[in-house]
Every structure is written in C-alpha cells, then in structure tokens.
A and B are shown apart, each in its own frame.
Chain A
Amino acid sequence: MSATPLKREVYLLSRIDLPDSHTLSVYKANGGYQALEKVLTGGFTPAQVIQLVKDSGLRGRGGAGFSTGLKWSFMPDVAKDARPRYLAVNADESEPGTCKDRVLMEKDPHGLIEGILVACYAMRVKTAYVYVRGEYRLSYERVAAAVQEARAAGLIGQKILGTDFACDIWMHKGAGAYICGEETGLMESLEGKRGHPRPKPPFPAGSGLWKSPTTVNNVETLCNVPFVITRGAEWFKSLGTPKSPGNILIGISGHVERPGVYELPLGISARSVLEECAGGVWKGRTLKAWIPGGSSTGLLPGAKIDVAMDHDSIREAGSMLGTGAMIMLDETACTVRAMQVISRFYDHESCGQCSQCREGTQWLAQIFARLERGQGRMEDIELLSSLANGMAPAKTICALADAAAIPTHAIVKNFRAELEEHVRLGRCPLGSAHEAAELEEAHA
C-alpha cells in the first residue's frame, strides 16, 4: 500500500444530501452544467475533450476498468464515416452486490446527463440512449424527468447553449436480464431482441447499435466526466492511485453494521472501508470471507482484508476490483452456500448461446447445491475446477462464463477445506442448508 495517505475529497456524491438534489435548479446552483458550458463555449474541440479524459486516466466503472478516453478515441473519424453514431449508457446495474449507479440516477440525474452530453460532444454523437434496468423504477423516473427539464432548458435538443451542438437523449427500459449489462447484449436488447451478446470483433465503435459506431459507458463513468472537465486531469490524478485515479463508489453489503454506498479514492484499504465506513463486521463477529467487486469476483479469505481497492492491488491479492461491490461474510456464513446462491444466479442468467456457458453454469449450480446439501463427493471439487476451466477464459462469446468460473476457482483455492468438510460430514457444518430447497423446487 502507498506510504502517503490518500487524499480524501468527495465529488460524485457531493450533492446527494441537498434537498431536491435531483432537480435542475439545485444542480445548477451547485456547479451543474459548467462542464458542458466550458467545452461548448470555451473553444474545446471534440479531440481536445477526448485528450483531457485520456490524460485524466479515468477508467470505466462498469467492471472492466478500461480507459474511457481511449475507448472514446476508437470512434471513427466523422469525416470518413457518415453513419449515425450512438452512445449507449449502461444503467443495467445487475451484478450482485452492486447498487451504486442507482444512487447517482436517483439523487444526481443531471450529473449523468451532463456527462452524457460532454461524451456525445467529444465523440460527435447526436443520439444517446440510457438503458435502465426495468426494476429501477425510481432511477428511470428521475433520469426521465431530468431529461425533460434539461430539454425544456435548451440543454438537450438542437442548438444546445446557443451553439451548433445538437444531441438527443432517450430513455430505454430493460426487462430484467443480467446479460443485457454486457455491452453487446445491451445493444441487442436495445434493438428489441433477445439479449444475446454478439461476437467481437466487430467492436461496438466499428459496428454497434444498428451496425453504426457505438460507445457503451457505465453511469458512474459518465458521472466522473463533468468533474474531469471543470477541475482538470491533474486534479483527477491527485485522487486515487497513479494507475487507478479518481474516486470510486464502493457499495459494502452483507454482514456489516452499516451497509451503504461510499465514495472513496481508489486505492483505499478494504479494511478501512469495512471498519471506518461500514462500522465493522456486525454483531461483534469476525470476518470469514469477502468478495471485493461483485459476485463475479472471487471470494477472498477474511484475513486478506488489508488490500488496497484498486485494479492492480486486488488482482495481486487474487481477485478483481470489478464494480467495487464488497460483500462481507461473517464467521457464521457458509461459503459453499454462498457459491450455491451465486452459481444459481449465473445458471439463471446465462443466455444459452454458448454451450460451454449454458451447460457449465447449470453443472456448477447443481454441484454447489449438492455439496451444500451434503450429497457431494470428493471428486466434485476437481469437477468444479475442470468445469470452470472448460468455460473460461475466452472460450465463449461474452464474459458471463468467466463471471461464473472465476468465483468457482476462488472457492476451490481459498476455501477447499470447507468444501471437503461438507463431503466428509455429509451435511453443511454450519447448518445453513435450510428449507430453501423446498421453496426453490416449488418455483422451478
């Protein structure tokens, strides 16, 4: 961990406690739409905006951590490519543990809209779609209302702020499928189809929505953009770590005293998120295991909590930053039950296109379920590993198979003794295999 303490400064969530923070007047009274004004009337070319975002080192907050400025630069040159071009805003937020984009959309929807407008200016996009997961009713309503307000105020539509910049933003509601958060699944879904991810290449910048150049960005990523514009790349890099600059919204859930979404510099120690923000493990218990970045990042032992929450440090610790959604398990929790629940999710959400994923997720779910019920065999542990090896990496159209395989490898590596104990005892040592099975069968 870095020797110098990380600078603490809240910006993403700086407005959310203001009354009516979701309205245009409150947003404007607190610095809103200054970034848009700066790029539109301050003589910034689109290329300069992209350069600024590149220089800031901003990395996508949707899970993969790809450089935002670099991604924007992949959009083809308008002089050579006359096709319409699109921005798809990924507000599908469905990775278990993750509930941070929701805070931004409910409490600061104009921040998102401003980020969208700056992104569209930079990429010369005239149409953006905000793909909101169907279950997020309040998020949808708040962003939709903010779009209307902004349109009425001349911030969306033609001649924005009296300039030649024109941009429309449309709301679009998903219908409850995790796979539609994967960027090409999202595009298929936006086109009104089943959310089946597309093989890459072609990449979205070359052929995305309706075969046109498209960029997909996460909500939190875009919400960072106005701050990068108004405060500059150097300011942004003064937060976080050199390779993972800026702040990140960390949601911490599970067995803690104060679950919540906290804005912290990248590189913050996981222990301080747990202890200072979340008030420690609940009920005075000890930490048995934790997930650093949503259900598709591997479970780590509780003893490995002195890790910095940035892309590289968590990878070194054997997991991934993912969406920064920390899920904490206390000493009474069963990691096999946790994997039963997580593998059931991937089985449910696999779109079924690739056999490795369709069959693999189903097998993983069945094996974790039988291990948890005490009906597993020792060979099942090897079988879990070999199935996961058959699914990923890079064996399927999209990374959902990886998302199921990664936590499977992690439990075999980090909690093998607990798997073995389930087999030896013929039951869950913690007695957590409750009557759930009965209710699950009724649902099937």
Chain B
Amino acid sequence: MSERPQLPERLRAEFSELLTHYPERQAALIPALHRCQEELGGWLTPDTLEALAEFFGLEPVEVFGVASFYPMFQLRPVGKHMVAVCHNIACELRGAEDVLREACRVTGAKPGQPSSDGRFSVMRVECQGACTAAPMLVLDGVFHENLATADVARVLGSVR
C-alpha cells in the first residue's frame, strides 16, 4: 500500500498564506499549480495533482480538469529547459517559423516533445504579448525578443 502523496511542508505553508487572499479555498488552486510546477520538477505529476487535491479538498479528477485546461501547465514530462516559440500573427510575419525551426535544430527536439537528451522541450505557443518585438521565444519563463534566426543558438546556448 502506497502512502497518499503529500505536498512538501514549505509549499503547504505558502499555500496556507495564499488562501487568506480569497473568500474561497479553490481560488488559490491555479497559483498553487504554478508553484508546484516550478518547485517540483517542471511538470505536474499525478502525485502532485493528488496531493493538491487533498490540500484543496477536491477530487484528483477536479484538479486534473483545471490543470488540463491551461496551456502553461505541463501534464507530461518535459525537458530540463522549456523553450516556447510564439507562432501567432505578429511573430509569423517576422519569421517565427524560422525561429522555431532553428530552435528545433539547435536542441534536437521536435515541437511538443522533449529532446532525446532530456535537456529541452520546444513548444509552439500562442501570442505571448511581445508583438512589437517579434519574433520571440521564451526560455524558462524569460522573454527573448527581436530575434534573428542566427540569435537562437546563442540564446539557447546560455543554458546549455
């Protein structure tokens, strides 16, 4: 018999404070999902979702239902570094597909799947709000804007 998964104490403490911002407990769920993804390995494992369900007094399937609605939440293993390339219209007009292709070439990853060495995931994403600085990519949450295709290797090299 396996133990029911639990959140680490420091996250429980953090989330208890978060709850004070809202009249109802569930409102803290999405911020908590973010923190778990950041702190617990870059993606939301079934154990993490179950632990969150326990904390919030929800069914695991309810937590999964929320998490799966939001593109920023990863429900499958991801590479150590996350590369998100905007492919929406303003970036498209200034070379997003070239940036994406170059990001795939440099990392050896296919869009949506981790590279075989597990170092990178490359994702196509919708508009990130950097339209006047297109094209762009997001590396581990940090925006890299006004990219030329030739810049991609240097940007990704910064974490290699």
Q: Are both chains from one complex?
A: yes
Q: Which residue of A lies closest to B26 (CB)?
A: A192
CB of A80 within 8 Å of the partner chain: no
* A 357-393 to B, binary, CB cutoff 8 A, 1 in contact else 0: 0000000000000000000000000000000000000
A93: Cβ under 8 A from any B Cβ: yes
Which chain B residue lies CB-closest to A436? B97
Q: What is the size, in residues, of chain B's interface with A at 8 Å between Cβ atoms? A: 52
Q: Contact check: which of B26, B112, B142 meets A442 at CB < 8 Å?
A: B112
A95–B94 Cα gap in the complex (Å)? 18
Contact among A178, A192, A434, A440 with B29 in the assembled complex (CB-CB below 8 Å): A192
The answer to whether the Cβ of A395 comes within 8 Å of any Cβ in the partner chain is no
Complex Cα–Cα for A137 and B34 (A): 12
The CB with the most chain B CB atoms within 10 A, among A172, A252, A253, A327, is that of A253
Which of chain A's residues have a CB closer than 8 A to the CB of B90?
96-97, 253-254, 259, 327
Q: A192-B26, A192-B29 are in contact. List 17 more A-B contacts (CB 8 A).
A: A96-B88, A96-B90, A135-B128, A173-B30, A175-B70, A176-B70, A176-B72, A178-B126, A193-B66, A251-B131, A259-B131, A261-B132, A295-B89, A327-B90, A439-B97, A439-B111, A442-B113
Q: How far is the CA of A253 from the CA of B111 in the complex (A)?
A: 25
Q: Are A173 and B127 in contact (CB under 8 A)?
A: no
User: Which residues on A sit within 8 Å (CB–CB) of B157?
Assistant: none
Contact B71 A176 (CB under 8 A): yes
- Nearest B-chain residue to A291, judged by Cβ: B89
Q: Bound state CA distance, A194 and B134, in angstroms?
A: 30
Set A175, A325, A338: member contacting B30, Cβ < 8 A: A175
> Chain A residues near B127 (CB, 8 Å)?
94-98, 178, 295, 345
* Interface flag for A270 (CB, 8 Å): no
Flag whether B160 is at the interface (Cβ < 8 A): no
A327 touches B131 (CB 8 A): yes
Residues from chain A with a CB closer than 8 A to the CB of B24 are 191-192, 210
Known: A96-B127, A252-B132, A439-B97. A172 touches B31 (CB 8 A): yes
Known: A96-B90, A175-B71, A439-B104. A192 touches B112 (CB 8 A): no
Instruction: Produce 1/0 per residue, B66-96, CB < 8 A to A.
Output: 1001111100000000000001111011100
Can you name 5 A-B pairs with beta carbons within 8 Å?
Answer: A135-B128, A172-B27, A253-B93, A254-B93, A327-B90
Other-chain residue from B30, B73, B101, B128 in contact with A192 (beta carbon distance below 8 A):
B30
A97 near B89: Cβ-Cβ < 8 Å:
yes
Pick the contact of A175 from B33, B65, B92 — CB < 8 Å?
A: B33
Determine if B129 and A254 form an interchain contact, defined as CB atoms under 8 angstroms apart: no
Q: Does B154 contact A (CB under 8 A)?
A: no
* Beta-carbon nearest neighbor of A191 in chain B: B27
Q: Is A443 an interface residue (CB 8 A)?
A: yes
Q: Determine which of B72, B92, B113, B132 lies in contact with A259 in the assembled complex, contact meaning CB atoms within 8 Å.
A: B132
Instruction: Give CA–CA (A338, B113) in the complex, Å.
Output: 26
- A259–B146 CA distance with the chains assembled, in angstroms: 10
**Which of B84-126 touch A at CB < 8 Å?**
87-90, 92-94, 97, 100-101, 104, 110-113, 123-126
By the criterion CB–CB under 8 Å, are A98 and B69 in contact? no
Contact A175 B73 (CB under 8 A): yes
Known contacts being A170-B21, A194-B66, A254-B94, is A98 close to B71, with CB within 8 Å? no
